[in-house]
Amino acid sequence: MFPFRIIFIFALFFGLTLAGCDDSSSSTNNVNNVTNNVNNVNNVNNVNNVNNNTNQLEIPDWTEATHGKIDPDYDLVFPQEAMQRFEIIVAPEQWAILQQDLDDHLAGTQGGPGIDLGDWEPVFVPCTVRYNGRDWYQVGIRVKGNSSLVATYNMNIEKFSFKLDFDEFEDTWPQIQDQRFYGFKQLNLNNGFDDRSVIRERVATGLFREFGLVAAHTASATVTIDAGDGPVFHGVYVLVEEVDNTVISRKFMEGGNLYKPDGRAATFGAGTYLEAELVKKTNEELADYSDVHALYDALHASSRTVDAAAWRAGLEAVFDVPTFLKWLAANTVIQNWDSYGLMTHNYYLYNDPATSKLTWIPWDHNEAFTDGKDRGVLTLGLDEVGAQWPLIRYLIDDPVYLEAYKAYMLQFATEVFTPEIMVARYTQLSALVREDAVAETAPYTFMRAPADFDAAIDTLKTHVQTRQDLVLEHLGL
């Protein structure tokens, strides 16, 4: 899959000295760790903390305003009318570790929606991130994704999604303690899997925020990677804010439990409660899942069928129901099949200490604005959704919540997701990203030809009118 991997592995067996990112004198211990030392004593998904090069790292570009632990600069990092451009420089030996980790866990894996990759956490390796001529040092980089990662790998496409963690290696290099990128500890570079417009995730996430939902900030970016053979253009990405970093601190009181459910328990269906699948992202050391258990109990309370008002009161005491219904309405209008109701992932729940209620936070929207794949998409009426998805079925079966859902759907389709607004937005974003998008080449693209980009943009423009018409028809307006 990667032609240069053979060269790397050959070289490793002949004792090449490994280097961390731009550091030319890293320990040779990593030669023996390429395949065997993926579980480090300090960090199970960090193979490099065994290298201790603390006296050999210089950080001449470091300033408090650019690298320090300061308030995040959203306008600079997530511009809406400009392309971000990132250069990533990785030592060949570190890139080989990342590629080997992919091969070890994905070779022979069959793809498909909802694939289970077990407890694999992709390995971080150190790199240099260069932005506007300034370097960030020994930044952790790893691949990310689930079924999209497997599909990308199996398609022999090398445009992977990445997560950047700017102080991942601070234990190894204390000079970069609390390193930030203009206030951000982590950032995601999403590859726009199967999105030939390369803007769907950015647009969907922005729509959720405009509708009053908590969601990540996004921007468009290009990524170039130099893994020893010179810079290689990896294409147009969507730069995405990390939920368990700045999204929480920006929108909520901090200190609450944050969950990213994944698996059957993510449905909250009867008999599915399993703490191992209600994955904690904060307060992991505390074995306290009482808040999600309270949601499960309230959802399945017997009062639902005998005293609807009491059931609603019990549910609303632990769950921000209006936020969920707003998301459900918007998500259904735009068509986003890779989400709750069809897939058991792609959302967070945060227990806001200010309200003691769990709040729904949507995630991962590259599959939005389409008719879906083998599982299709949910209809506006949601009649096909079964009790195995009780957050939809039980709420929509309640007349009060059904009316709220319909009102949110109408508001979204007539005030936020309108043909007038969206055609102008698609035109603006197309002009912003087109030159870079059509410059993508195999194996770093999901497009077959530049014409695919223009066709994808045209499809988005017709889609919004179709969806508004269907909403008005469904509501009898």
pLDDT digit string, tens, across residues 59-118: 999 999 999 999 999 999 999 999 999 999 999 999 999 999 999 999 888 766 656 676
Lowest mean pLDDT among 54-63, 131-140, 229-238, 261-270: 54-63
Q: How many domains does the chain have?
A: 2
Mean pLDDT, rounded, of the chain: 89
Q: Is 245 a residue whose pLDDT tops 90?
A: no
Q: Are both 403 and 285 inside the same structural domain? A: yes
The string of DSSP codes covering 15-73 is TPPP-BTTBTT--GGGGGTTTT--S-SS-TTBTTTT---TTS---TT--HHHHSS----
Which amino acid is it at 361?
Answer: I
Q: Above pLDDT 70, what percent of the chain?
A: 87
Which whole-number Å values give the CA distances from 62 to 67, 170, 178, in the listed order? Answer: 6, 14, 12
- When comparing pLDDT for 221 and 46, which is higher? 221
Do 259 and 271 fall into the same domain?
Answer: yes
Same domain, 372 and 235: no
Domain of residue 298 covers: 252-415
Mean pLDDT confidence for 26-44: 37
Residue 137 lies in a domain: yes
Residue 461 lies inside a defined structural domain of this protein: no
Asked whether residue 31 carries a pLDDT value surpassing 60, the answer given is no
Does residue 122 form part of some domain?
yes
Q: How many angstroms separate the CA atoms of 266 and 348, rounded?
A: 10
The answer on 66 and 163 residing in a single domain is yes
Omega prior to 443 cis, within 30 of 0: yes
Indicate the residue type of 245.
Answer: N
Mean pLDDT on 272-292: 96
Which of residues 415, 440, 463 is at a domain's end? 415
At residue 59, the pLDDT reads 97
Residue 160 and residue 288 in one domain = no
* Domain boundary residue, one of 415, 444, 471: 415
Judgement on whether residues 34 and 182 belong to the same structural domain of the protein: yes
Name which of 453, 455, 233, 208 is nearest 348 in CA terms: 208
Overall pTM > 0.75 = yes
Mean predicted confidence (pLDDT) in 118-126: 90
What is the C-alpha to C-alpha distance for residues 336 and 371, in angstroms, rounded to an integer?
Answer: 8
Residues 67 and 149 reside in one and the same domain:
yes
For residue 431, count other CB atoms closer than 10 A to its CB: 11
Instruction: Please check whether residue 443 lies inside any domain of the structure.
Output: no
232/363 same-domain check: no
**Separation CA 107–CA 156 (nearest Å):** 11
| Same domain (yes/no): 240, 283 | no
Does residue 139 fall inside a structural domain? yes
Question: Which whole-number Å values give the CA distances from 210 to 175, 207, 240, in the listed order?
Answer: 40, 5, 16
